Amino acid sequence: MKNKEDLFELATLAGKLALDKKGEDVVILKIGEVSPSIAEFFVLVTGHTKDHLQAISDYIEENLDGKLTLHHVEGYETGRWVLLDFVDIVVHIMTKEAREYYSLEFIWADAPIHKLGDKDERDQGET
C-alpha cells in the first residue's frame, strides 16, 4: 500500500492525464478524510460524449499501468459515467449531465477538494 502523499501524486497524475485528453472541471476529492473505507481520493472529470469518456478512460488506464492496479471498471459501454476503481483512487469520468445529476461534490461536500486546471492549480482545503 502506498502512503497518502504518493496516492495524492497519482490522483493528481490521473487528473492531469484527463486534462491531456480535454477532460474538463477536474477535481480531486480527498474522500479518505471523511470516509476512509471507500477510498483515499476521488478524481472527478467531465467529458462530452461516450467516445470522449472512453478516450479519457483508456488514456488514464494506459498511463497508470504499473503505477496502480486497476481493480474494476464500470460504465465503459454506457457512455454517461465511466468509473475506474484503483482501490485507493477512484476516477469518475462523467458527462456534464450525469455529473450535475449525481452531484458527487455536493454529496461529499465535507471532503477537501483540490481543483486542477489547464493553466493553474489551486488548492481548496488542506493537502
Long-range contacts of 59-67 (CB under 8 A, 24+ apart): 59/17, 59/18, 59/20, 59/21, 60/14, 60/17, 60/18, 60/84, 60/91, 60/93, 63/13, 63/17, 64/10, 64/13, 64/14, 64/17, 67/10, 67/13
Domain locations in the chain?
4-124
CATH superfamily, domain at 4-124: Beta Polymerase, domain 2 (3.30.460.10)
Sequential pLDDT tens for the chain (127 residues):
589 999 999 999 999 999 999 999 999 999 999 998 999 999 999 999 999 999 999 999 999 999 999 999 999 999 899 999 999 999 999 999 999 999 999 999 999 999 998 544 434 444 3
